[in-house]
Amino acid sequence: MNRSLRRFSLFLVVMITACAGPSNISVRPKGEVESGLHLEALAYFIDAKMMEMKGQRGAAINALRAAIGIDSTSATLYGSLARNLAALRKYDQAIPPARKAVRLSPLDTSHRWLLYKMLMEGIKDTVSAVEQLEAMTQLTPDDLRVFTPLLQTYKNQNRRSDILRVLRRISEIPGLSTRHNLFVAENYVRHKAPRHAIPIYEKILAEDPNQSQIWIRLGEVSLAAGDTVRAHKVFRAGLSQFQNRVDRNTSNLWRKLLPIYDLPGRLDGLLSESPCDTSFVESLADIFIMVAQGRETGLELAQIRSQQAFVLLDHLLQISPSDHATLGKKAGLYLSMGNLKAARETYRLAITVDPNARYWLGIARTYIRERDLNQAVKILKRLFGEAPPKSQLFPQIVTDLGWAYTANRQVSEAREVYRQASIARPEQLHYLLLMGKTYTMEKAWNEAIAVFEDLTEGVEENSNLLRDTLYELGHSYERAGRFDESVDVFLRLLAMDPENHQALNYLGYMLAEKGVRLNEAQDYVERALKGDPQNGAYLDSMGWVHYQRGRYREAMDYLVRALELEEARLRQIGPTGSTEFMHENLAIIHDHAGDTAHALGDAIKARLHWKRAAEFDPKNERIRSKLQSLNASPPSGGQ
C-alpha cells in the first residue's frame, strides 16, 4: 500500500470512528481537528500523530510544519507543533506557534492551557502566563482548575488584592458546591480576610448544620479576631445541633470551647443563664471530668477541671437535689481526687434515690483505696451474686472482687471468682488467665501450667491474650524446673513480639542463672534495658550476667543502680501500698549484691547486703546459710 493510500485509509478510519461515536458531542471540542482542514494537511497531521505515538518527536515536528505550509489557518496544527516542541524543551520555538493557536481559536481553552504551561514552566514569564489564566477564567468561569494556579501565582507575588478579587469571583459562581465554598472561605482566612469567610461558612451551615468542622472554623474566625463572646455563641450553637452530645463527632467542638470557660466570669455567666440549659451543663461537666481524669492531664490542670466540674454539678443539684446521676458523678469525682469519705457519703445519697449497683461499686472502691478489704469484699461479693453476667458492670465487679480477695491473701476465693466468671462468660478467656495467675501466687506451678497450656490453644486468634498467656506459661515452666520448655515458650513469644522487654529480661535472666549461653543472655537483657532503662529488675539481670561471666566490678555497678531505683520505688509506695512483690525483688538484688561483694573479697559489704536480703525475705534459708558461713569466717573488707 502506498503512502497516500495509507494516509487515506487512516483518515477513513478516523472519520468512521467519529461518525460511530455518541451524538452528544461538545459544540466546541477541545484539541480536535477543525472540520475545514485541507485534506493533504490532514494527512500530514495523521502522520505526525503516528510519529508522536512512537516517540519520534522530530519527525512529528517536520510533518506538522509541512501541514502548516499547506494550511496555515488550523489552530490544531499550531497547537500540536507547539506541544511537540515543548516536549523537546524547545520553548523559544514552541511559544510562537502556541500563541498562533490561541489567536486562531481564542475560545478554545486547551490552547491557552498549553501556552500557559510553556510561559510559566518554560520561560518563567509569569506576567504573560497570568494573562492566559485570567482569560480562561472569563471563558470558563465555573472551572475551578483555572483559579487554583492563578491564586498560587498571586500568592507567590504577594498580590493580596488580586487574590481577594479572584476569590470574590469564585464565590459568585452559581451553584458552587460545599467543597468549593469551603475552598474560598479557607483562602479568605489564609489571606487575612476572615470577615469574607463568615457568610460563606454560614451559608454552608444553613444548607447542612450537621457539619461540626464548619462550626469549628466559623468559631475560630471569631477567636482569631479576639471575639470570644461570638466564638462561645458559635461553638454552643454547633453543639446544640448534636444535642450537646459528647462523642467523636463533637470532641473538637468541645476542645475549642473549654478554654473559653477559663476566662474570668465566663463560667459564672453560664450559671446565671435563665432558664438553665441543663443538657449543655451536664455535658460540659462530663467533659471537665474526662479531662481531669485523663492520663495525659497534668496535676494543675486536673485540679482546675475538677473544681470546674464540682461547680457545675453543684449548680445542677441546686436545680434538682435528688438527681442520683449527678450525685453519682460528683461521688466519682471525689473518689478520683482521693476524698474517700466525701465520695462514700455522696454515693450513699445517690443510693437513697436509686440503689444502683454502680454506686455500691463506687463505695466498695472507697474501701479498697482505704485498704479496708473486708468491707470491700462484703459489698463486691453481694454485687457479684446479683449482677447479670451480660451487664456492663459485671467485668468491673469481677476485676475488683478478684483483686480485693488477692490483696487480702484470699487467693483461693479469688480463683473461685474467676472460675465462676469464666463459666458465666466463656467467651471472656482472660478470666482463665487470671485464674491461672492465682496458682502462680501460691507457687502451684503444675496447676498453673495446666491452665495456661489449655488456654494457649484457645487464644491463638487473640494476639494480646496469647502473649500474656505465653509469658505466664514460660514463667511457670521455669519455676517448675522445666527449663528447656520454658526457653521454647519464651522464644515463641519473642518471635511474635521481638521487643517484649519483659520476656527478653526473663529469658536473659534464666540463661544467666543457669550460667549457660551467656552471650545470648547479655544480648536479651541489653534489649530489655533499651525498652525500659530505669527498670531495677532488668539492671539486676544485667548485673547477674556480668557476675556469671566473672566481671564482678561491672556486676556491682549494675546492682547498685538497681538497688537505688528499687529502694526509691519502695519509699514512694508508702506503708499502705502493696509491697510484697517489691520485697521479693529487693531480696534477690541484695542477695546478688552480697554474692558479688563476696567475690570481690569485701566481706563487710557482703554481710550488709545479705542481712538486708534476709530482712526482705526472712524465710529464705539459703540467705541465712550464707550469713552463717560468713560469720564463721575471719572478717575482711574491701578498700
pLDDT in tens, 564-619: 999 888 887 755 455 677 888 999 999 999 999 999 999 999 999 999 999 999 98
pLDDT in tens, 38-79: 888 889 999 999 999 999 999 999 999 999 999 999 999 999
Q: Where are the domains of the chain?
A: 1-140, 498-639
Sign of CA dihedral 399, 401, 404, 407: negative
Q: What are phi and psi of 337, to 5 degrees?
A: -90, -5
**What pLDDT does residue 35 have?**
56
Region 88-93 average pLDDT: 92
Three-state SS sequence of 468-488 = HHHHHHHHHHHHCCCHHHHHH
**pLDDT surpassing 80 at residue 405:** yes
**pLDDT surpassing 70 at residue 19:** no
**What pLDDT does residue 356 have?**
95
Instruction: Looking at the structure, give the CATH architecture of the domain made up of residues 1-140.
Output: Alpha Horseshoe (1.25)
**What pLDDT does residue 444 have?**
97
Region 370-388 average pLDDT: 96
Helix 178-190 / helix 160-171 crossing angle, nearest 10 deg: 160
Give Cα 414 distance to the centre of its chain: 36
Instruction: Mention every residue, 6+ apart, whose C-beta is less than 8 A from residue 150.
Output: 130, 133, 134, 137, 166
**pLDDT surpassing 70 at residue 267:** yes
Per DSSP, 32 falls in state P
**What pLDDT does residue 569 have?**
86
CA distance 300 to 283: 22
**Considering the chain, what is the average pLDDT of its residues?**
90
CA distance 612 to 607: 8
Q: How confident is the model at residue 635 (pLDDT cuts 50, 70, 90)?
A: low
Instruction: Mention every residue, 6+ apart, whose C-beta is less than 8 A from residue 439.
Output: 415, 445, 447, 448, 451, 476
**What pLDDT does residue 570 have?**
84
**What pLDDT does residue 636 have?**
53
CA angle 387, 392, 394 (to 5 degrees): 40
**What pLDDT does residue 177 have?**
86
User: Can the peptide bond before residue 618 be classed as cis, meaning omega within 30 degrees of 0?
Assistant: no
Secondary structure (DSSP) of 110-175: HHHHHHHHIIIIIS--HHHHHHHHHHHHHH-TT-HHHHHHHHHHHHHTT-HHHHHHHHHHHHTSTT
CB-based contact 623:613 (threshold 8 Å): yes
User: At the fourth CATH level, which superfamily is domain 498-639?
Assistant: Tetratricopeptide repeat domain (1.25.40.10)
**pLDDT surpassing 50 at residue 284:** yes
CB-based contact 476:445 (threshold 8 Å): yes
CA distance 610 to 624: 8
Region 314-332 average pLDDT: 97
**What pLDDT does residue 630 have?**
82
Three-state SS sequence of 214-237 = HHHHHHHHHHHCCCHHHHHHHHHH
Sign of CA dihedral 344, 347, 353, 354: negative
Region 128-144 average pLDDT: 86
Domains 1-140 and 498-639 agree in fold: yes
